[in-house]
Amino acid sequence: MYKFEPILKTLVWGTESWVLSSVPGSESVVSEGPEAGKTLSEVYGGEFPLLIKFIDARKDLSIQVHPGDELAGKRHGGHGKDEMWYIIGASEGAHLYSGLAKPLTPEEYARRVEDGTIIDVLGDHVVAPGDVFFIPSGRIHSICGGCYLAEIQQTSDITYRIYDYNRPGLDGKPRQLHTELAKDAIDYTVADDYRTHYERRENEPVELLKCEHFTTTLFELSAPLSCPAPGGGRWLTVACASGSGTVNGAALRAGQALLLTPDENHLDLVPTAQDFRLLTSYC
């Protein structure tokens, strides 16, 4: 089992805490134990396939999209980015954008970016704690101000920024846009429902999402729980969304993450504060 030092990033819209990352230049480092100081890639034996962040959006993020594996590999020699969001906290009226609310052609997309009306055709969703959204590659999206969430994604830092409200970056200069690159990456279809629905249950595992690249399970705990680890026999990430407690004897609090090795195929979870919520993910 490994615990890592969070990597805090300050951005024009708020902050990100990267709690598990093997992205070059932003690698998680083991914080304690006999292997303290080693990077995630060193203890895993290569690039770890998942990146986990906590995002505190005080202002709206840019409208953006991520390329899929094929396009990202062809253009950048990297991975695409499927990701999911678990809403931990939301101010009154907080919302986010996910997907298209009406059919769109590539030509109309370009026009709407140019005239600043791209937001008018996006799916606009008011959010509350516990909401889940899956953002597959190709889906236009944006987290908006007032949202605090956990993000689980493929290990990739490839983002096409489509529209950024004509605001300057932290350096006072306009941030780079990738409007033309995004045109071929966008999925222009309209989905019936952009939310991921699940049944909330206390003190037992609840699978939130199973996609091609990862499976994520939620534990909402008010009492100790002992159970098989999801994806038993695989590397398992454990991110604490709220509260505090212990995971197989290791202390964990909100905003921290652990990585369990494949031989740790059982979970002993003990809350030490109310609302102990954990998100586990494996590939």
**Residues designated catalytic:** 161
Cα 264 to Cα 1, 38, 56, 169, 237: the distances in Å are: 8, 20, 31, 44, 11
In this structure, are residues 267 and 205 in contact, taking their beta carbons and an 8 Å threshold? Answer: no
CA distance 85 to 134: 6
Which strand ranges, in their side-by-side order, compose the sheet holding 122-126?
122-126, 95-100, 141-143, 63-65, 160-163
Phi, psi of 249 (to 5 degrees): 90, -10
CA distance 163 to 32: 41
Q: Among all chains, which residue has been given the structure tokens 């990146």? A: 51
Exposure of 83 in the CB half-sphere (CA atoms within 13 A): 30
Residue 170 tokens, joined: 């932290």
